Amino acid sequence: MTSNHSPVILIVDDTPVNLLLLTQLLSAQSYDVRPVTQGTAALTAIRTIRPDLVLLDIRMPDMDGYEVYRQLKADGETAQIPVIFISALDDVEDKVRAFECGGVDYIAKPFQPLEVLARVRTHLALAQARKALEAANRELQRALTREAELARIDWLTGVYNRSHFYELARHEFAIATRYERPLTVCMLDIDHFKQINDRYGHLIGDQVLRAVAQTVAHQIRTADSIGRFGGEEFILLLPNTNLPAALTLAERLRVTIADLQVHTDRGIITATISVGVAERRPADTTIERLIDRADQALYAAKRQGRNCVVGV
């Protein structure tokens, strides 16, 4: 139900006079009324038009109201549609069972027009409030999810920040240690990045950082992780990857970045990276020790002239 359309009410009753009375009564209030006379037809109509409210007679020959209601609630697409049961005034058993099985209300025959209208208005308002609350809850959940994601992401480059990367790395290190699986870490550094900042300015430098980070992120597997370690340094976590495979990846990344052209307001800028690679060894008792060895390999790559890969 929305503010732009009249609420749709489905009336299910096999007695023509009751159906006519309720249809006239509710149509006069500008409701969009859809009458049906059988339980099976009611289920088809409910799944087709998705009414805002159902007025459901309990006693029908082909399928009673309880069975209609049971099938309605068993379908996730229609389970939230409110149902007001209809039955004879003196049938206490029907009234009790109607509430026990989950009906939102009960209208007794013969109908009292003012009572019918009051109950219909109440439950349409409640349904609308429930939908609004559900929509607000969904939006809140999306906002919380976005906030949680932002807390894990480096705002400049779009890859994991150092804190979240360490959280992932400790988890993968524990798994690799427990099950004796290979685990490799790569440290990447953009060569002579200070010169890019000094020559072109920090805004252009930031653009180069983003381009390198996102290029690397798109080259690794879903199971792998990339984080910004600090400044122009990035770190890769490669689960179930031994040193030879990691070196192959690192070399591919080195070549890819060397060929990368970053289009900026100051023209096309290119960059290269140095990469240090370290595979977990029994002596690596913590993820920090493994990262430190990768960092040492990175410095060895820099000493060898940069734009190269060194593994340990």
Q: According to the model, what pLDDT value does residue 87 have?
A: 80
Query: Does 233 qualify as catalytic in the annotation?
Result: no
How far apart CA 200 and CA 237 sit, in angstroms, is: 31
Q: How many CB atoms lie within 10 A of CB 92?
A: 10
Q: How far apart are CA 200 and CA 190, in angstroms?
A: 15
pLDDT for residue 231 is more than 60: yes
Helices (H), ranges, the chain? 16-27, 39-49, 65-74, 92-100, 113-152, 162-179, 193-200, 202-219, 243-259, 287-303
Q: Look at residue 3 and tell me whether its pLDDT is greater than 60.
A: no
The CA–CA distances, whole Å, from 44 to 38, 39, 92 equal 10, 9, 29
Angle, CA 265 vertex, CA 263 and CA 269 arms, to 5°: 40
| Mean pLDDT on 29-54 | 92
> What does each C-alpha distance from 11 to 16, 61, 119 come to in angstroms?
11, 16, 14
pLDDT in tens, 233-253: 999 999 999 999 999 999 999
Q: Are strands 267-269 and 273-279 parallel, antiparallel or unpaired?
A: unpaired
Q: What is the mean pLDDT of residues 157-163?
A: 95
Q: How confident is the model at residue 2 (pLDDT cuts 50, 70, 90)?
A: very low
Per-residue pLDDT, 131:
87
| 149/98: higher pLDDT | 149
Quick check: 90 pLDDT over 70?
no
The predicted model gives 144-162 an average pLDDT of 88
Exactly one of 232, 251, 279, 288 is catalytic; which is it? 232
